[in-house]
Amino acid sequence: MRYRTIGTDPGTRREVSVLALGAMLFGSVTDEETSFAVLDRYVEAGGNFIDTSDNYAFWTDGGQGGQSEELLGRWRRSRGTGDEIVLATKLGARPLAPGTDYVGNPEGLSAKVIREASERSRERLGVEKIDLLYAHIEDRTVEPGETVRAFAELVAEGSVGLLGVSNHAVWRVERARALAAAAGLPGYEVLQYHHSLLRPRSDVPSGLFPEGSLGAATGELVSYLGAEPGLTLVAYSPLLGGYGRADKPLSSDYDHPGNAARLAVLRDVAKETGATLNQVVLAWQIGGELPVIPLAGASSVAQLEENLAAVDLELTPDQRARLDAAH
């Protein structure tokens, strides 16, 4: 396994594996025995960066989520894991009531929610301190200063280490970070967005992102990361559910000429390396100039093994240049 540093403060920064493990469906779609087996193998391989959220996976049973955090808590207790595992979770997108969702009825990012939701997450995870806590989705009903101060209070109290943000417009990320810096408070240092070799259309609105896909790592976000070397991008859904899977065709958001060109180059590089399409995509992210940590889930140990093999896949400068230039 290889590692990189997230965070800049010596008191809170952590060394994490370059491949993060997504636990979204653990304890719901993925049963406990399989989830434990995947977690055990990930740690055995040197992985130490596990990601979840307080609302995973509310859509599987019409509840409010919490199954993934609860499973991770049971796994930690049964295995006796300690500070070597970096647990990241998110808040703000938990449905306010069972049978609803985060599109029209999210908990949001008020100071009250941040306090109460983080305490619930710590209890489910069985930890005194959440290593990395994200603001999951935007809440434009709350002044950003309130959110910034509420997160900073948790860091000051020692119940949270690093702060992160996901699925926000870049200007709102910068505004929150500027407010924190001006007040001498800790700000967001890890950004979690959807990022893969294939790129969705950015002009397609949805219920969650009415202005377009705020969840995608756009060129503006990539530019921002390049200008702020202290930030790290955690790339969720890097494999789009599995590159090349006939049973999982890409959504219409990805149906545009640029992606056809990217797929052609990807297939060529996969043939040259003898690797799978998934492995090439992960290796492309891990070895790039920008600090990107792919966050990939796995519903079986076999899927995890395929992902782990990408850590040691070295693309040549020419292969990387061709993947970067395809459009």
Tell me the torsion sign for CA atoms 245, 48, 130, 120: positive
Nearest to 122 by CA among 61, 84, 78, 76: 76
Question: What letter represents residue 255's amino acid?
Answer: D
Would the CA dihedral through 286, 260, 199, 42 be positive or negative? negative
- Taking the C-alpha atoms of residue 40 and residue 304, their distance in angstroms, rounded to an integer, is 11
Strands (E), the chain: 3-6, 14-17, 20-22, 49-51, 86-91, 130-135, 160-166, 190-194, 232-236, 292-297
Catalytic residue selected from 56, 102, 134, 243:
56
Task: Report yes or no: 286 and 20 within 8 Å, Cβ to Cβ.
Answer: no
How far is Cα 137 from Cα 289, in angstroms, rounded to an integer? 27
Judge contact between 261 and 327, C-beta under 8 A. yes
Residue 101 has which token pair? 């969702």
**Strands 49-51 and 3-6, sheet pairing:** unpaired
Verify whether residue 56 is a known catalytic residue.
yes
AA identity, residue 224: Y
In 217-327, DSSP assigns E strands to: 232-236, 292-297
Instruction: Report the 10 Å Cβ neighbour count for 9.
Output: 12
Burial of 100 (0-12, 13-18, 19+ CB in 10 A): middle
Active-site residue set: 56
